Amino acid sequence: MEGVAGAWGYVEGGMGMVSFLLCDIARELGATVATGVPVARIVPGEGVELAAGERIGAACVVSNADPCVTLGLLDGHADPGWATRVGQVPMQGVTVKVNLTLTELPDFTARPGTWEPHHTGQVNTPLAKEEWRSHHAAAAAGMLPPRTWNELYLQTVFDPSVAPEGVHTLSVFAQYVPYRFREGDWDGRREEVGRVVVSSIARFCGNLPRAIVAMEVLGPPDIERRVGLTGGHIFQGEILPDQMWDRRLAARTPMPGVFLCGAGTYPGGSVIGINGRNAAMEILGA
């Protein structure tokens, strides 16, 4: 949140409302917004070609797709050095998103109660230091670790409109999980992954899994398929020291008129908006 260090804000109606609001503002300013219209190719300096064959001319093309997807859309028009750099970015996701509906808010053993101040913030359920190492190694080897680290968000505390009366929502961002299992696949092991995540949280909650009404489990391949993120990586590539700061991709690409505005650019992922602002400043200064 602007002016409050380290604080996150919740948007009433869900984070998708930010996109809707920006869309309304853009339309008021004369922009044409089209959704569900696949782009087949980016032609640097000329515009884009749609899957249906139509050409749309534009001096600037700004891509919020991840760098790998953008590279594919350039269809041979990419600068070789830039293409090599994109190919070197690790983009295999290791996180799973678990969405739960609950009859009541989690009752944490350390701070009992089902409507307490801590429910209004982000809650993490930890792993021991050695578990971080061993569980990451297990996931990297295609195995499901016995526990996950979890980041919890409870939307209905702020916004009851996102669920029926008397029902609460809990979104869980958990890791580590394999992108591809050594044995089986995500369709066959989805429920097992959900149970591991829930049991990892239940160590700290007295009313889970009893309070769970329904559960949705989205692994990296699901995120890749639904959202179009290569490898299901929610940050469009690892944010580790060798992929941070000046080592992350810039908004301006070597191709004329082609810009990136997503999490694959500096300074990285999370819902921060800085990547888009950086791209806008580059374009305005072009």
pLDDT, tens digit (0-9, with 9 covering 90-100), for 29-87? 999 999 999 999 999 999 999 999 999 999 999 999 999 999 999 999 999 999 999 99
Indicate the number of domains in the chain. 2
Q: Is residue 3 part of a domain?
A: no
Q: Would you say residue 182 has pLDDT above 70? A: yes
Report, as an integer, the average pLDDT of 200-220.
98
Domain end (from 201, 227, 253): 227
pTM of the model: 0.92
Q: Would you say residue 286 has pLDDT above 70? A: no
CB atoms within 10 A of CB 173: 18
Q: Express each pLDDT in 139-173 by its tens digit.
A: 999 999 999 999 999 999 999 999 999 999 999 99
Q: Which domain holds residue 274?
A: 34-90+235-284
Q: Is residue 174 part of a domain?
A: yes
Is the same domain home to 202 and 259?
Answer: no
Is the same domain home to 177 and 114?
Answer: yes
Q: Would you say residue 235 has pLDDT above 80? A: yes
- Residue 192 has what pLDDT? 98
- Residue 14 has what pLDDT? 87
Rounded to an integer, what distance in angstroms lies between the CA atom of residue 270 and that of residue 2?
15
Domain end (from 205, 227, 249): 227
Rounding to the nearest 10 degrees, give the CA dihedral for residues 179, 182, 188, 194: -60
Q: What's the CATH code of the domain at 58?
A: 3.50.50.60
For the chain, how big is the Rg over CA atoms in Å?
21
